[in-house]
Amino acid sequence: MTEYNTEWENNSSFHELLNTCSPSCREYESATIFKTWLSTAHCQTSTDILGNVTGCINPQSEYKILLTAHMDEVGLQITHINSNGLIFFRRVGGIEPMSLCGHEVTILNKRGPVNGIIGRNAQNYNFTEQGLSFKMSDLWIDIGADTKEEATEKVWIGDFVSFKPNSQKIGKSRICAKGLDNKTGLFIVAQTIKKLSKEQLSIGIYVAATVQEEIRLRGIAPCVYNIKPTIGFVVDVGFATDVPGSSQYDEPTFCLGKGVGLIHNADNNPILVDCLKQVAESKKIPIQETVGHTLSGGTDAMILQLTADGVATANISIPCRYMHSHTEMCDWEDIEYAIELLTQTILKIDKESNKYLFK
């Protein structure tokens, strides 16, 4: 098995991606970096009308494998600015109000980023038996403006908001940052096609960085219609169960640092999952078998599987703690494992494509 490098802080490419702000509907920063990565892999690239970025190797091949990861992250959107210059917002994706208060944010617009802090009325305790309780409407963004006029010189209704970039290393190999869902998957896809570009392949390899996954999986379908893949691999984070209250069992079932998650549910083709498992066992790549968070849905795999004539689909799941918060946590070793597993699986399918026609 490959000797894995846990010194992730030396990887400038991943650092650059983690410092981008790409809330759903405003994924431009991550898209620019992804296109640069694809150019180093000598891929033909294109961007569709929604903003999905795709690239390919061997476009002449009729047998096509699609590697996809969404590049958007949860965020906010400005809906109102009051007379005191305080900014109100709605959520973009699944964010809980409790995860927002007191955190730094970056407001994105054509005039440049604006920093702010999410506040609430600290005199309104509103304690319940479950603890402090408040709604999204109880929160606002403070950019230090005294009036609406002062605030609107910098921001306006409709601007999108991201958590402020904050990446750091904790412990041996843990990565903490906003937007690991799903900059982690985006990095894995890019690194995999970079490795595959050095191989002599007979099949077509397509990659897609999709938009708007966090708002009901909206971006993936046009990619599938355009590419018409035989097989699709969706790389995304999954809920780690190695923290208190996350597992219904005595022991956690999906842990950081213990390998890639292979999911047994309706969105995952059992033949593909078995192929991934065989490769992992032969190459001694750690994996974790799981049933996922739900029987179906939660990632682009659900839409990919059902689009056009249907696609044989499998998730590559990376354990993630504190998902959809201002600081998520993954393990660098799991990222390395995923790159190796995807690369070796595609090399296997390239040699044995007749076994994986799904006709």
Q: Domains along the chain?
A: 13-73+178-351 (3.40.630.10), 75-163 (2.40.30.40)
Main-chain phi, psi angles of 55, to 5 degrees: -145, 160
The number of beta carbons lying within 10 Å of the beta carbon of residue 143 is 18
What six digits make up the tokens of 181? 């869902």
Binding region? 70, 181, 214, 236, 324
CA 256 and chain centroid, separation = 16
Determine the pLDDT at residue 194: 95
Query: Using one digit for the tens of pLDDT, what is the confidence trace for 284-313?
Result: 999 999 999 899 999 999 999 999 999 999
Distances (CA, A) of 169 to 17, 22, 257: 15, 21, 14
213 catalytic? Reply is yes
Q: Which of 196, 227, 206 is nearest to 347 (CA)?
A: 196
Place of tokens 């150019």: 39
Residue 231 identity? I
Determine the pLDDT at residue 251: 82
Place of tokens 């890639």: 260
Determine the pLDDT at residue 9: 60
Q: Which residues of the chain have pLDDT under 50?
A: 1-6
What six digits make up the tokens of 136? 């999204």
Binding region for Zn(2+)? 70, 181, 214, 236, 324
DSSP string, 257-321: TS-EEEE-STTS-HHHHHHHHHHHHHHT--EEEE--SSSS-SSTHHHHHHSTT--EEEEEEEEEB
Marked catalytic residue, from 27, 213, 328, 333? 213
State the DSSP H helix or E strand holding residue 351, giving kind and residue range, or none if neither. Answer: helix 332-351
pTM value is 0.95
